[in-house]
Amino acid sequence: MAIKWYPGHMAKARRQIIEGLARIDVVIEVLDARLPASSANPLLDELRHGKPCIKVLNKHDLADPVVTKAWVRHFEHKSGVRALPLEARQHSGVGQITKLCRRLAPHRGKPGRTLRAMVVGIPNVGKSTLINTLAGKKMARVGDKPAITTCPQQIDLRNGIHLNDTPGLLWPVMSDQDGAYRLAASGAIGDSAIDYVDVALFAAGFMMQRYPELLKGRFRLAALPDSPSELLDEIGRRRGCLSAGGEVDLYRASEILLRELRGGKIGRISLEDPDKDFAESDAACSDEDT
């Protein structure tokens, strides 16, 4: 099943972002630390026209710390880009963003020279939580479902910095289906647009390859089954997801797997690694630049 999800308001959001960038000093792109490539806007680097960018790797407490360090190195090879792993609810980490903004735009943030930063990111990535933490109070709506923010808003942090909050933005053509499945597994795509069993099979197969020990530990398995479908079946039996006749309800088993993956209960898992999943494409880009 191909995953396609593009709520109507996102076309308007894209226009608002393009228009707003002309008045912005620093771009703050909020990414999911578990899938920084798939949760990025692929045109943002082009649209920002060299303006400095902070890549906030949110939810890093759910991601594999070794892989997150690799992503920081990956992003900071790019000109004008800084990467910052954090958890958007923690004031201590979020405070580093304002320091980075001032460092990247040293002539702004002073009386009469407001530093303007735009916060962008896909739905459900934690933009609103980040803004509320920066502001020290509830300024933006927060929810556990995608597409909570639907209108842009201006937030004065009262420290010389103004934030421009934008609606969550996913690129309209999800041609990279591996990336789409990673987004679906993370919870970024609305549940109505995905097949739970299909996505759970994808997630199960990925974790069987990259994080087999975490799976065995969480579901108390002596050994992993031979296939993702058998893993779902085993999870369903162990968690009591049985229908009439003793058959496993794969939908309920899929819900369990995805819910526990998204909540970090299986362990700290990164759904993509720059060295394993994007090394070839990065090498190709380097060849084109030379």
pLDDT tens digits for range 95-112: 899 999 999 999 887 778
Query: If pLDDT is split at 50, 70 and 90, which confidence band does 15 have?
Result: confident
Q: Are 54 and 161 contacting, i.e. CB atoms less than 8 angstroms apart?
A: no
- The CATH number of 195-276 is 1.10.1580.10
Mean predicted confidence (pLDDT) in 157-166: 86
CATH code 1.10.1580.10 region(s) in the chain: 195-276
pLDDT one-digit tens code per residue, 100-151: 999 999 988 777 889 999 998 877 788 888 988 888 876 654 444 444 444 5
CATH code 3.40.50.300 region(s) in the chain: 12-172
Q: Are 129 and 143 contacting, i.e. CB atoms less than 8 angstroms apart?
A: no
pLDDT of residue 290: 44
Strand 53-58 relative to strand 81-85: parallel, antiparallel, unpaired? parallel
Q: Selecting from 3.40.50.300, 3.40.50.1820, 3.20.20.370, 3.30.160.160, what CATH number does the domain 12-172 have? A: 3.40.50.300
Q: Are 221 and 215 contacting, i.e. CB atoms less than 8 angstroms apart?
A: yes
Sheet architecture: strand order including 153-156: 81-85, 53-58, 26-32, 115-121, 161-165, 153-156
The pTM of this model reads 0.84
